[in-house]
Structure 1
Amino acid sequence: MSRIWVTGYRSYELGVFKDNDPKVKVIKYALKQRLIEQIEQGMDWLITGGQPGIELWAADLVEDLKADYPELKLAVFVPFEGFGKNWKEGNQAMLAKAKSQADFYAATYKGDYQGPFQLQGYQDFILNHSDGALLVYDKDFEGKSAYDDKAIETFQSKAPYPLSRMDMEDLQEYANDYQEMMNEARWNS
């Protein structure tokens, strides 16, 4: 597996409305741990979209990870060319940063939003151009990632497609680890 699709909750679905929210540090810590596992299992392309939340946080981690894993590359795909143009300034800036850091960037459809078919086409494209997925989603905590979850399940019924899932229980365990690490750092300084 070399091309892994990383997706999951949007920032607002996690109650995150500012970049300095402490939850972002914990989520990035959790993502980084899982991404390192994926890299050590052969991932050399992180494929993600441009949604604020898990996707853009994962994209942001690639620069840090490249220090230890220089072979890692980032591909950012969006469902249409005008994607994100109506967002708040902060989210637009995060998307622009991801685009600038990407080794490959493309829209799966030309032009602006035309309909839900573009989002389905985007999912189909990503599934057919990746070797597996890391999905931050918990079926007990609904969100827009339910569509990705369903698309992955449907795809898995036709072809082998490994899925690594991170649910709320996993995130809580990573939060506990992160807190313990921060406490140790305070005691040691």
Structure 2
Amino acid sequence: MKSLVVTGYKAQELGIFNQQHPGINYIKKTIHKRLLPLIDEGLEWIIISGQLGVEQWAGEVVLSLKEEYPQLKLAMLLPFEHQEQHWREEAKESYERLLHQADFCEPITKRPYENPGQLKQKNDFLIQKTDGLLVLYDEEKEGSPLYYLRAAKAWEKPVLLISPDEVEEVVREEQEERDLF
């Protein structure tokens, strides 16, 4: 696998409304843990669309991994121009940092938001053009990642699922480590 789309729930779907939420750290550590063996197996590109939540946190993880794995690249393929237009200032700043540090950045449709079809087009395009999907998803709690999962099924692409249990395992490991010291 050379290229991988990474996605998951939007921040608000997880009940996360600011960048200081402790859950973000656990999600990022879980993504980091899942990416390492893939990088060792030859993963070169992580692709995100830049949406708030898991995608942006994955982008931050990739940027931190680039220090140890300089061959790793981050691409941001945005669904449309100015997707951040109506976001809060804190979210815009985080997004802009990712845009400036990504190895490649381009909107899929070179115009502002017009209709939900642009989001479906983004999902299909990203899945079609990559080797697989890594997604944080709970099969008991539908949400925005479901659209990527449907695209992956339609294009018969491999799906690597990060479950809530996997994130909880990282939380337990961190707590046990803290208890030792």
The 8 Å contact of residues 139 and 146 in structure 1, kept in 2 or not, is answered as no
* Residue 4 of structure 2: aligned partner: 4
Q: CA deviation at 1:130?
A: 0.7
Per-residue CA deviation, residues 91-150 of structure 1 (Å, 9 max, x unaligned), is 111111110110000100011111111111111110121111101111101211111112
1: CA distance, partners of 2:42 / 2:179: 33
1: CA distance, partners of 2:63 / 2:144: 27
TM-score (norm 1): 0.91
Are 2:177 and 1:181 aligned?
yes
Q: Percent identity?
A: 34
Greater Cα offset, 116-125 or 96-105: 116-125
Q: CA deviation at 1:52?
A: 1.0
Q: How does 1:62-73 map to 2 (within 5 A)?
A: 62-73=62-73
- Corresponding letter in the other structure for 1:37: P
Q: How does 1:26-65 map to 2 (within 5 A)?
A: 26-65=26-65
TM-score (norm 2): 0.95
**RMSD, aligned α-carbons:** 1.1
Per-residue CA deviation, residues 9-38 of structure 1 (Å, 9 max, x unaligned), is 111111111111111111111111011122
Q: How does 1:160-175 map to 2 (within 5 A)?
A: 161-175=157-171
Q: How does 1:139-154 map to 2 (within 5 A)?
A: 139-154=139-154
Q: Unaligned stretches of 5+ in structure 1?
A: none
Aligned residues: 181
Q: Match of 1:75, SS?
A: strand
Q: How does 1:89-100 map to 2 (within 5 A)?
A: 89-100=89-100
* Residue 25 of structure 1: aligned partner: 25
The 8 Å contact of residues 63 and 74 in structure 2, kept in 1 or not, is answered as no
